[in-house]
Structures are given as C-alpha cells and as structure tokens.
Structure 1
C-alpha cells in the first residue's frame, strides 16, 4: 500500500511538473523573427560556386546572408571572421548544413574571382555572391538591407552598407534578421553569442 501511495505521489508530481513547465514563458529570440517567414523574390546571381545561384540554392540548408565587399576595411572582415568562429556553435542546433553568403555590394570592383578568393579564405561554408546593380539592388532591398552606390567614375571609395545578417530557413524564406550592435567608437557588428542563442531557439521550433 505504501509503495502504491509513493508511486501515485510521484506520478502527481511528474504531471504537475509537466504542467508547470508548459505554462512557463518560453525563451524568446532577441532577433527580429518573421512570423510567418517571408518568401524571397526570384533571383539569379553569380557565385563563387562556379555557377549562378537561384532561390533553389537556399533550400535544404540554413543560410546567413551578409552584405559586404572585398575592399571593406572594417565591418566585413570582422563579421566574416566572427561568423567563421560562430559556425561550429550554430551547427550544434541543426542537422542541416549552415552556410554563409557574402553578397558583394561593390560590383564595379568585385569580380567573381575576387569574391571567390575572399569567401574561400574563411572556409568551405562561405559563398561569395555578386551581381550588377540592376539585379543586385532589388535582391538586397528585398532582404530588408541597403547599400550605397558610388558616383559614376569614382575608383577609390567606400560603400556604406547594412551590417545586419539575414537568416534564411531551409525552405528558402527569410526567417529572421540579426541586427548589428552600435557602440560608440566601435565597428557595428552582430553579437555572435546572442545570434547563436537566437538561432538555437529558431531552429528548434522550425517545422
């Protein structure tokens, strides 16, 4: 009788624990998460893969899209290096591949070879992307990002561009955007620890 009573009490405690757990507020990502995810307009862009890429190349993997350019003096190399360090942490939370697309916003100087050399330096998970402005600008704008176009004839210039990172889900849709932190006197970059925590939450709830 005593064993039965202990078993009943244990069962009640277990059920109570499950109920309490399910009613507790779940952790929420700090990133801007699109609910529902947003489809991307059709695109065709040049890549470091040796062929053009389209929407289909985003499917079956998680992809981090980052705008930059190979002549960038600060934000781009810092973010790319940070992403290389963060990738092992991200891959712990998914069985699917995690890739990074570095989208050049400087088509005047960034050839396919140049973006290929640049992306490959950071690892095989990195893909360099480029296109001319008529194809590039709508694509970047559709991601919710921006970049500046230099005056005609300029050869020595900086390109202002977004420092945020867009997360595309395995269905090829915009799932979230990780915004850069702006600290006085420092290069604006995405906090990789926060991004990893957010990615774990997002990936775990992805159907």
Structure 2
C-alpha cells in the first residue's frame, strides 16, 4: 500500500515512454528515445551537495552526463536503475566509460542532503550528488526533462515519494539527447551510450 502511488506513477511514465518510442524517431539503432527538438538544459544549475558548488546540467567536452532523479530511501526503482547503469558502464571500453559522468538529483531533499553523496558514491565513486531545498529551483530543473515527483505523508506519518523513473543523457551542448525508460536492458543501455559517444566525436 505504501508504494502504490509511486508504482502507479512509474507505470504511467513507462506507458508514455512506450508511446513516444512507438510514434517517433528514425534512430532504429537506439533503444532510448529522442525528443524533437531536444530540450536545452545546459543553463540549469543545481548545488553539488558535497561541495556546495553550482553544477550546470551539461557534459564535459566530448562526453555525456547521465542524470537520474530519485531519492535515497527508494526501495526499488532507484537502486535498480543505478545498479544497471553501473553495470553498463563496466561493460564499456574503459576510455569510453571515463567520458560518462553520472549525477543523481534528489527529489526528497529534506531527508537526502546529508546522505546523498555517500549514496551516490556507493554506485559511482565519482558520481555527482545534486540537491536543493529550494522547491522552485528543483521544479525548474525537473521540468524540461518531463520529470514529475511528489513527497507527502500518509495517515500513519510515513513519508511517501512518487517520482519519474527514467534516465537522461545530456551532451556537452547541454541538450537532452536521449531518455531511457525504467527497465532498459543493460546491454542496450551500454550500446546507446557508445553510439552517443561516437556521435560526440564524429
């Protein structure tokens, strides 16, 4: 019962993803889907929880930034997605994998800010933990990705969090170039990342 809203939201997001994938895109070799025109997110910044520095949502030159919106108390979608991404990167050529940075944005900042760097670091030693208690700033960051989230308290005083479960790839121009729905196969994720990296150097 506690996670019903989160599961329902995730199902809706996955259905939307499936519809977009079915309706558009000539990139048959890509498992993820591309939005046209690609949303520009590179001017958006969020604080790095570990350092306090503002981080722009764009990749380093010639690289990719993979972004996930989630929370550390997540029992299922978040650890599964981050684990799959970690495995995909491990299966890549080491030099290619080094060109991919990973950032997690918390949608539950009141509980996460103190523990987020350790949580992200458990999956990616160089992972970037992003978060803010400024609700407007978080909403502004989430909007162009199409991310939805909700944090509430149930009748028993338990905190419930519902959030979108997709992964997002941003290039060095700050464009959202690819979105993967929850449950993407690890090898498909690996292949997509390699294709995108090749495009960055073409």
TM category (shorter chain) comes to: 0.7 to 0.9
Residue from 178, 194, 198 that aligns with 1:200 = 194
Counterpart Cα distance in 1 of 2:35 and 2:70: 23
Rounded Cα–Cα distance in structure 2 between residues aligned with 1:136 and 1:154: 27
Q: What does residue 141 of structure 1 align with?
A: 143
Gaps of 5+ in 1: 1-24, 181-188
Query: In the alignment, does 2:74 pair up with 1:72?
Result: yes
SS in 2 for 1:177: strand
What is the rounded CA distance, in whole Å, between the counterparts of 2:35 and 2:186 in structure 1? 20
Trace 1:1-207 onto structure 2 (pairs within 5 A).
28-34=29-35, 37-40=38-41, 42-55=43-56, 58-60=59-61, 61-91=63-93, 94=96, 97-111=99-113, 113-132=114-133, 133-150=135-152, 156-180=158-182, 189-206=183-200, 207=202
Aligned residue for 2:111, secondary structure, equals coil
Higher relative contact order (Cα pairs below 8 Å, separated by 6+ residues): 2
Which has the greater radius of gyration?
1
SS at match of 2:79: helix
Over the residues paired in the alignment, what is the CA RMSD in angstroms? 2.9
Deviation per CA, 1:172-203: give whole Å up to 9, x if none.
Answer: 221111112xxxxxxxx332221112222232
Alignment gaps of 5+ in structure 2? 1-25
Report the TM-score, using the length of structure 1 for normalisation: 0.72
Offset of residue 97 of structure 1:
1.8
Aligned residues: 174
Secondary structure at 1:81's aligned position in 2? helix
